[in-house]
Amino acid sequence: MTRCGERITNERESHGADGNPVRRYLGLSVGGAKSDRTCLTAIDYYRKQDKAFVVDIFESVSAQGEQTADQVLIELVSELSSDMGAGGDGVRMMGVDAPLTLPPCLLGCESSCQGYEKCKKPEVRWMRAQYQKAKKENSRLKHFTSYSQRPVDLYFRYRHDEPNLFQDETMGANLAPQAARMAYLKRHVGDTELVEVWPKLALYYLQKALKIPKRE
């Protein structure tokens, strides 16, 4: 599998040789399909010992020869699941640091739609209510756009304790390429459960739980 990105470490053991059930989880940092900034990490969790180990790290997952970067990544995810052996449960879940859903008004709107200002979709109505509430506290607040933002974008921007941490929009310049790529990739990773993760959010709550000063 060395052709699928550059392997940084390989600490895997023979899974299931002692009857110890193993569950594998993947972490995917998504870059553009034409760049070499995509990274994949595999973590094995041994249930009997209640311990987890990083067993593989692949950096710079990109196009290889005639294979596109997407083909390389899909093949790598498949191989990481199939090499678990008889004692493994396969890949249970993959955390992805990119949007896994699209804004409610980006696709599928009917021609009779009068615009997101009057949209009756529940998620857009919720977004409109959140914006109107936030507008009362900040008269200079710019209007939301339900074709570039999701409800979760507004939730963290308007209601979280640290709103400055979450300023990126799903279809904004920083995330749109990754969102579009994941809309394609999630159809090709089999039965692997995908979970959207925000590293900044995880670090924020770890810092609070461990009482680590923000400057560190």
Helices (H), the chain: 69-82, 122-137, 151-158, 176-185, 199-210
Residue 5 pLDDT more than 60? Answer: no
Q: Cα dist. 115→27, 64, 142, 144, 205 in Å? A: 37, 44, 17, 12, 37
Domains and CATH numbers, the chain: 6-100+176-210 (3.30.420), 103-170 (no CATH)
CA dist 144 and 116 (Å) reads 9
Q: How confident is the model at residue 1 (pLDDT cuts 50, 70, 90)?
A: very low
User: Can you give the pLDDT at residue 15?
Assistant: 46
The residue-averaged pLDDT of 40-58 equals: 94
- Beta bridge pairs of residue 41: 27, 57
Residue 173 pLDDT more than 60? Answer: yes
Residue 16 pLDDT more than 70? Answer: no
User: Can you give the pLDDT at residue 25?
Assistant: 96
User: Can you give the pLDDT at residue 84?
Assistant: 66
DSSP 174: T
**Whole-angstrom distance between the N-terminal and C-terminal Cα of the chain?**
37
Q: Cα dist. 174→36, 60, 124, 141 in Å? A: 16, 19, 23, 21
Q: How confident is the model at residue 36 (pLDDT cuts 50, 70, 90)?
A: very high
Which of 28-42, 88-102, 114-128 comes out lowest in average pLDDT? Answer: 88-102
Q: How confident is the model at residue 67 (pLDDT cuts 50, 70, 90)?
A: very high
**Residue 99 near residue 170 (C-beta atoms within 8 A):** yes
Residue 10 pLDDT more than 60? Answer: no
Most confident of 2-11, 63-72, 90-99: 63-72
